[in-house]
Structures are given as structure tokens and as C-alpha cells.
Amino acid sequence: MGKVKGSPGPSARRPDNSAFKQQRLPAWSPMLTANTVLPFFYFMALICMLLGVWLLITVQRTQELKMDYTEAGTCNSCFEKRKNVSKAAETCSCTVVFPIKSAFKGDVFFYYGLRNFHQNLRRYMDSRDDAQMVGRKKNLKSPSSYCMPFTHDQNGLPIAPCGAVANSMFNDSFTLNYHRPGGGTVRVPLLRGGITWYTDKNIKFRNPATGNLTLAQVFEGTAQPPYWQRPVYDLDPLDPTNNGFINDDLIVWMREAAFPNFKKLYGVLNRANELFTDGLPAGNYTIDIVYNFPVQYFQGRKEVILTTLTWFGGQNHFLPIAYLVTSSLILLIAIILTVVWWKFGKNGRNMVE
């Protein structure tokens, strides 16, 4: 057949005669030799080692005191009482005595810790209603099915907040006391507000619109989670603005931990008091504990942590150790490559030959 008039020929599909389309752009291909690679390995090993040592020294500057109070002091009787589910509603208080040998200087943070409590299970993490937590009244009366079986109580009332995460909220409370060397006991002031993330407090957790009603009237017709001792609108009797879904302790608990051993912030030392301006002085202390949270069912432990912070954070050795281990591995590889190069490749001979 003859060529159709007006059809493009083979030359019409040819790329333009430019450096880019004809792949004539200048290129640089580095030649990896021992003289360039080995110094890089030694340099990276040195950098990682310096970073590891620097971070390790920074971490060591933090002061930390951990104390397991599960069965400590007079808490042993409360521990035994919490084994009996029928006595879970009874209030149990205990006291733990401990010394601080070296003063905690600067800001001091008070944490509670749990061991062997798995907040990272998928079904546990899904057992919540985020729409309810942002204050939607529809979800207040009709909780999400994700909250099963903690959607309604035995009387059929909707639970607020619903779900396993809220139901298992940590509910021990603490009062820290300092015993003066000359006699007398002073309560250590702790700031209990402002311990949450800004996005959580102002975006992810909101109370339903109250209008002219009180918070208790808004939550009327709902039930508290089965393991709670107070309704959600009365979690903090001393501070009405810290009730409902915007309660700081509730928000801190609802941010699930990634590991079974974790700590969560309970309060920060209020340094406005003249006695604690520089931090916690050395001396004897006691913690009065309202012992509510049972740990026997998951073979867990409870602890309190007092710690100071640096720009790097708390006393966490993971990153410094990771840098030091990485530095050691890079240095080991560099030494092996140096030996191989010295034995086989120094004179330019091919290792295969």
C-alpha cells in the first residue's frame, strides 16, 4: 500500500536533538575507592560516638526516683482488699515513706507508672467513641458499637465516656508530703492542670454544649463506666472547670501507651512556694495514696516516679546507647574493610586474581 497523504513519518516521532532528550547531559559517577570510603566510615563512627557520649552525659544529669508502691508500706492491706471485687467500691488509703538523698533541682515532674498493662491491643484501642469525646450529644445518648460491651450499663443507660479505655482509667490519687528536718510536715504543692497536649485539651476532647444547663444536667440520663467511682461530670470536685471530657487525668489516660511498661504525668511541682523554689530539697517524704486501681487481674505493678528533665527529656538511655552501638558497628566494619584492603587491594591487584 502507498503512504497515506498527510500521515506523519518516522522522523516525526524522533526526540528533539537536545542534550536532555538525547541523554547528553554531563554526569558525575563517583569512583568508590578505599581512599574515599574508609575515611568516611571512620568519620561516621567518630560522629556517632561523640553524639552518643554527649547524649549519655545529658541523660545522666537528670535525677529520677522510682518507687513501687503496689505492696509497699501500709499499701499491703489495700492490695489484698483489691483482690476482692465486692470490696472494690470501698475506699482504701495507705502511706509510703521514702527519703530523697540528693535535692531535685529545677522543675520536678510527678508520674504514675504501670507494668504489664497492655494499652496497645487493637481491640482495646478501638474500644472508644471519639465522636462522643468531642461533645456530640447524639453519641452521648447512642454510643458507638466500638465501645461494646461498655456501651450501656445494667439498667440500659448509655455510658459516658464509653469503651474499655475509659473504663480502665487509672484512679489512684496521691498527696506528697515533706518532713522538715526541724519538725513539721509540709504538703508539696503539685500543679494538676496543664499536663495534657494542647491539641488534646482544645480539639480532640470537648464537653457537650451546656447552654443554660449545668454539666450534671447535660450528662443526665447517662451512666458512669462500671469501674469508676465518680461520674464524668464530677471527676474533680475541687475544680469545676476540670470536669467532663476535658478532665486532664482522663485525657492523659486516653492517649494509649505503646509498651506494656509505661508512665503517665500526674502533676508538676509548683515552685511558687518559697520552700520549693529551687526544687525538692533532700530529706524525708511520705506519699498518702488513695488506693483504688487493682493490678492483680493482669499481674501488674504500680509505681510513682519523681524526675527532673533536660532539653533532651527524661532519663531515657535508648538513643545514647543506640548511637554508641551504631558507632561500634561502623568502626568494626571500617576495621574489617581496612584489613581486607591492606591485604588484598593496597597494590591495586584484583581480589579475584
Return the DSSP state at 290. E
Q: Do 269 and 279 form a contact (C-beta atoms < 8 A)?
A: yes
User: Over the stretch 284-335, which tens digit does the pLDDT of each residue have?
Assistant: 999 999 999 999 888 999 999 999 988 888 888 899 999 999 999 999 999 9
pLDDT tops 80 at residue 86? no
Q: What local confidence, expressed as pLDDT, does residue 2 receive?
A: 54
The 3-state DSSP class for residue 333 equals helix
Question: For residue range 137-195, what is the model confidence (pLDDT) as tens digits?
Answer: 888 889 999 999 999 999 899 999 999 999 999 999 999 999 998 888 999 999 998 89
Quickly state the pLDDT bin for 6 (edges 50, 70, 90).
low
pLDDT of residue 10: 64
Supply 336's cell numbers: 574489617
Tell me if the pTM is above 0.85: no
The contacts found for 245-250 with CB under 8 angstroms, 24 or more apart, are 245/132, 245/133, 245/134, 245/135, 245/161, 245/205, 245/206, 245/207, 246/201, 246/205, 246/206, 246/207, 248/192, 248/193, 248/194, 248/195, 248/196, 248/201, 249/169, 249/170, 250/161, 250/166, 250/169, 250/205
Q: According to the model, what pLDDT value does residue 12 have?
A: 67
Give pLDDT, residue 353: 45
Q: In this structure, what C-alpha cell is assigned to residue 6?
A: 498527510
**pLDDT for 159:** 94
Contact indicator for 65, 287 with CB cutoff of 8 Å? no
Cα distance between residue 153 and residue 171, in whole Å: 20
Q: Alpha carbon of 123 to those of 110, 115, 154: distances in Å?
A: 30, 20, 22
Q: How crowded is residue 196: how many other Cβ atoms within 10 Å of its Cβ?
A: 21
pLDDT in tens, 259-283: 999 999 999 999 998 899 999 999 9
**Nearest Cα to 338, choosing from 47, 38, 41?**
38
The string over 323-342, giving b where at least 16 C-beta atoms fall within 10 Å of a residue's C-beta and e elsewhere, is bbebbeebbeebeeeeeebe
Query: Does residue 195 contact residue 268 with C-beta atoms inside 8 Å?
Result: yes
b/e string for 73-102 if b means 16 or more Cβ within 10 A?
A: bebeebbeebeeeeebeeebebebeeebee
- What pLDDT does 273 receive? 87
Residue 125's pLDDT band, with cuts at 50, 70 and 90, is very high
